[in-house]
Structure 1
Amino acid sequence: MSIDVHAHVLLPSLQAEVERRAPEAFKAAAELEARRNGPASLAASGRMIGERFPKLTDVRARLAAMDAQGVDHQWVSASPNHFYPWAEEGLAVWTATEANRLVAEHVAQAPERLTGLGLVPLQHPERIVECVDDAILGRGLAGIEISSVAGDVELSDERLEPFWSRVAELGVVVFLHPFGCSLDERLDRYYLSNTVGQPAENAVALSHLIFSGVLDRHPGLKILAAHGGGYLPTAIGRSNHAWRVRPEAHGCAEEPSSYLRRIWFDTVVHDPSALRHLVEVAGPSQVLMGSDFPFDMGPEDPVAEVRAAGLPSDVTQAILSGNAAALLSQRVRA
C-alpha cells in the first residue's frame, strides 16, 4: 500500500471566473508572478503545465499515472495558484468554497483512491472557520491546504486562533504549501523562485508556528509541511540556540527542535540522505510520502525515492502508507 499526500488538481473554471470577476487585480497578480519567476522560468513552466494538463484535470489520466507509479491513493489539493491571496473578502470566500466544491467533485470520481483537501481565505481570518466547515462538514474533505502567508497574515497572527482551534477540534490535516516568496525579484532567474523560495517560505512559516507558541496552545494540530519542511529541519540547531540565548525568541515552551516531532512532513526532499535526516530529527512517525504530482519539481517515482533512503523496512512502510492512514483515521466524519 502506498499513499501520496502531496498531489494537485488544477481548476480551470475557477481561474477563469476569478479573472472575470476581478480582471485588474488578477492581471496585477499575474504580473507580480512573472517578475518573481522571470521570463525563462515562466516559459518553461508554461510548457510543463501544458504537457501535464490531463494529469492535473482528468481523473482517468490521474489514475493511470498513479498506476504507473505504483501509488494506491492520493491526497489531492488545489494547485497553489488557486490561493488568490490578493482577493477581497467576498471573492476570497467564493473562491475557497468553489474550490472545495470542485475538489470534492474531482475526488468523488474515484473515492476509493482519492482524498480531497479544501481551501480557506487565509487573508480574511474572520471568514476562515466557515470555510473550514464548508470543506470538512459540507463537502466531506479531509483537510485544509494553506499557504505560508497571505497579505499581512502570518501563521503566528492571533487572528488565526479560531482557525487553529477549529481544525484541531475536527481532527483534520492542515497542509502547509507555500506559493510565491517574499524575496521577490531576487529569485527571478535559474528557477530560484522555486528551488530557494519554496524551502525558505516553509522554514519561515513553520518558525512562526513554533516560536509564537501556536503548537503549545493547540497541541492537537496536525500540520503537514510540504517539501520536507524546507530548510528548517536541516538548520534547526540555530533555532534551538536562538531560543536559549535570545529573550524575544522564547515564545514557545520548549526547544524548537522538539516541535518537529509534533509536525508531519512529506518526502519531497530530492535526496536519500536528506530524507534520512528528516526521519532522524522528526521521527519515523512524522514523515509521509509525497510527490508534488504531477509537477516537474516532484519525483516521477516517489515510492522508489522512499525506498532509496535505505531505512528499516517498518519505517519505510510507515512512510509509504501507515503514517498517512493513521492521520486520516483521527478526523471527524462529516
Structure 2
Amino acid sequence: MPIHELAPGHIDIHAHLLPEDCYEIPAAEGTRALTERGGELYFGEFPIAVTRDQISGVPRILADMDAEDIAVRVVSAPPYAFAVTAGPEAAADYARRVNEGLVRMCGDHPDRLIPIGVLPVQDGAATAAEVARLVADGVRGVAVPPVVGPATLGDPELSHVLDGCADAGLAILVHPTQQPRPGFNDHYLQNLIGNPVESATAIASILLGGTFDRRPELRIAFVHGAGVAPALLGRWDHGWRMRADVAAHTSRPPSATFREYVYADALAHSVEAGELLCKTIDPQRITLGSDYPFDMADRHPVQSSLALGLEQDALRHNALRWLGLD
C-alpha cells in the first residue's frame, strides 16, 4: 500500500489479532485451545485477561483505536499462536491459516490495519515456503519468538528465519512467549521478568553473533522497550572488551550495534525506563507500541510517548521505515 493511502496519525506497531477459526493451536502434546469462560478467554487453564471481542473483533479494535487517537495498527497473532512446539507440518498448516485469516480480517480496512504474519520457525523449508506466500499476498512483515527451544534468534539454528526475512525484505517483530522457567511459578513472573529477559536474550545473541554484520539490511523491532537490554548494554560491552569468546563474532561493541540497527517500541511502563531506552537507541528507530489488548498493555500509548518527549511525526516515520514503506 502506498504511504498516502494509510490514515494520517499515530502508527502502533505492537497490537494483536487472532482469527476465531485459529483458536485450536497445535503443540507437542497435541492441541491447546482458547476457550471462553464467563466472558473471558483461557489458554488451556491460563486466563489471558481478554475477551473474544478484543482479540478477534475488528470493529472493537477500530473503536479502541479511535478512543486513543491511533490511526493505524500493525496487528500480529498473539505469541501463543507461534506454535513453536508443534511438529513442522502442523506448524506450517497453522501458520498458513493464521496468516490467511489476518489478511482477510484486515482487508476491509487497509488504511488502518496492517497484518504481519507468523512463521513455522522450527523448520527451514516450511519457513521459506510461508515467507514466499506472505510476500505474494503483499504482507509487510512477520512476528517471531525470541527463543525456540534451546536456540535464540541469533543462533545458527534459526538463521533461516532472519535470512529468509532479509532476502524477502520483510520487517520482523520479535515478541516473547512467556516461557516457563525455574523460580517463575508465582506472581506472574513468567511475564513480568521472563518476557523482558527473553527479548534481551535474543538481542544479545543477534548483536554478539554478528547478525547485523552479516545482514545489515535486516529491520528488526523488539517489543516492550527492548526488554531489559538497555539496562544491560554496559555489561555486554564490558564482556565484549574483556573476553575473546564474547567478541569472537563481531568487531563492534554491542551498544554501538544496538544504537545503529535495532528498532524498539516505546512500551517501557515507566518514564525512567523509557528515558533509558531513548538514550541507548537511535531516535530514528523508536516507535509507538501498545501490546493491545492484553493486561500488560499500555492503555494510553500516545500519552506515554508524549511524556517521553517523542513526536508523532517522528514515531510515524520510524514505523514506516521499519515496515519498508518509507
Q: Cα gap change, 1:249/1:46 in structure 2, threshold over 3 Å: closer, same or farther? A: same
Matched, 1:303 2:302: yes
The aligned counterpart of 2:322 is 327
| Secondary structure of 1:265's aligned partner | strand
The aligned counterpart of 2:173 is 175
Paired residue for 1:243, among 240, 243, 253?
A: 240
Which deviates further from its counterpart, 63-72 or 94-103? 94-103
**CA shift at 1:330, angstroms?**
4.5
Which deviates further from its counterpart, 151-160 or 64-73? 151-160
| Secondary structure of 1:98's aligned partner | helix
Counterpart CA distance in 2 for 1:44 and 1:15 is 14
**CA shift at 1:274, angstroms?**
1.6
Identity of aligned residues (%): 29
Counterpart CA distance in 2 for 1:219 and 1:320 is 22
Equivalent pair of 2:48/2:294 in contact (CA under 8 Å): no
Q: Which amino acid is the alignment partner of residue 9 of structure 1?
A: L
The aligned counterpart of 1:62 is 61
TM-score by length of 1: 0.86
Paired residues in the alignment total 309
**CA shift at 1:58, angstroms?**
1.1
The aligned counterpart of 2:5 is none
* Structure with the larger strand share: 2
Equivalent pair of 1:178/1:202 in contact (CA under 8 Å): yes
Equivalent pair of 1:2/1:71 in contact (CA under 8 Å): yes
Q: Cα gap change, 1:205/1:47 in structure 2, threshold over 3 Å: closer, same or farther? A: closer
The aligned counterpart of 1:273 is 272
| Secondary structure of 1:118's aligned partner | coil
Counterpart CA distance in 1 for 2:229 and 2:128 is 28
The aligned counterpart of 1:189 is 186
Q: How does 1:1-334 map to 2 (within 5 A)?
A: 1-16=9-24, 18=25, 24-26=29-31, 46=47, 48-50=49-51, 53-137=52-136, 139-181=137-179, 184-250=181-247, 251-261=249-259, 262-309=261-308, 311=309, 315-330=310-325
Counterpart CA distance in 1 for 2:144 and 2:48 is 26
**CA shift at 1:179, angstroms?**
0.2
Equivalent pair of 1:289/1:319 in contact (CA under 8 Å): no
After superposition, give the CA deviation of every residue in 1:160-183 in whole Å (9 maximum; x if it has no partner): 33432332233221100010235x
After superposition, give the CA deviation of every residue in 1:226-252 in whole Å (9 maximum; x if it has no partner): 111111111200000000001110121
Q: Cα gap change, 1:264/1:244 in structure 2, threshold over 3 Å: closer, same or farther? A: same
| Secondary structure of 1:60's aligned partner | helix
TM-score by length of 2: 0.88
Counterpart CA distance in 2 for 1:132 and 1:97 is 10
RMSD of equivalent CA atoms = 2.3
Counterpart CA distance in 2 for 1:47 and 1:205 is 24
**CA shift at 1:198, angstroms?**
0.3
Query: Which runs of no fewer than 5 residues in structure 2 stay unpaired?
Result: 1-8, 35-41
Q: Which amino acid is the alignment partner of residue 49 of structure 2?
A: M
Query: Which runs of no fewer than 5 residues in structure 1 stay unpaired?
Result: 31-40
**CA shift at 1:23, angstroms?**
8.8
Equivalent pair of 1:122/1:153 in contact (CA under 8 Å): no
Counterpart CA distance in 1 for 2:90 and 2:179 is 23
Q: Cα gap change, 1:45/1:304 in structure 2, threshold over 3 Å: closer, same or farther? A: farther
Equivalent pair of 1:123/1:150 in contact (CA under 8 Å): yes
* Structure with the larger helix share: 1
